[in-house]
A and B are shown apart, each in its own frame.
Chain A
Amino acid sequence: NAGVTQTPKFRVLKTGQSMTLLCAQDMNHEYMYWYRQDPGMGLRLIHYSVGEGTTAKGEVPDGYNVSRLKKQNFLLGLESAAPSQTSVYFCASRGGGNYPQETQYFGPGTRLLVL
């Protein structure tokens, strides 16, 4: 049981390049999330999904797109990377229903540097 995994671990992009971050979970969780973490800013929600085939915008969605074609995978895309998207990206997932399924489990993170 690997939990939540993310690929890649680290990536350097040039401004204008595109890339996709992959999140995978093997806990059969309904909900999945993408956050970005910047120094002094905490964790901010980019997009989330409440089930296979659904996505919704979070707090800071601009410049990102997501897809959830399979229940276990949640992809985050950057179509045209900008230096402001330099950050650490965390994926998280949780089960459906109420307590104690509310716990969000985080992946190990992807460090992205945009030059």
Chain B
Amino acid sequence: GENVEQHPSTLSVQEGDSAVIKCTYSDSASNYFPWYKQELGKRPQLIIDIRSNVGEKKDQRIAVTLNKTAKHFSLHITETQPEDSAVYFCAASIGGSNYKLTFGKGTLLTVNP
């Protein structure tokens, strides 16, 4: 089945710096890659996603890039703020279907004021 590796497991940055989280996946048939943010004690919420026919997508301070050849995708957060502190999960659709996801193990991002 699909395997998603996520790095780093923890990341600490200063406010205003950029943060990058990387994920690799194993199934070349995967075609949908969402990123979720989970604040402490809260539910995971989608922050951005990308499909395999697109190489990059941006939404204000957040961007995701996808390299299908290398089977990896990354989350980029610019101008980080303390409220960006949370656990971030990447995920990849399983096989050619898009209704099941495999999640990475998460990255705890801490933004220090």
Spell out A's residues near B (CB within 8 Å): 31, 40-45, 48, 50, 58-59, 90, 94, 98-99, 102-109
Contacts and interface: CB of A to CB of B under 8 A. Distances in A.
A108 to B, nearest CB: 5
Given A31-B99, A98-B98, A40 B43 contact: no
B46 A42 contact: no
Given A44-B103, A104-B101, A109 B43 contact: yes
Contact of B100 (A40, A41, A48, A99): A48
Interface size class of B (residues with CB under 8 A): 20 to 34
26 contacts: A40-B9, A40-B105, A41-B105, A42-B6, A42-B104, A42-B105, A42-B106, A43-B44, A43-B89, A43-B103, A44-B103, A48-B99, A48-B100, A58-B100, A59-B102, A90-B44, A99-B32, A102-B34, A102-B49, A102-B99, A103-B46, A103-B49, A104-B46, A105-B46, A107-B43, A108-B43
Contacts of B43: 90, 106-109
Interface residues of chain A: helix, strand, loop or mixed (majority): loop
A31 B43 CA distance: 18
A48 B1 CA distance: 16
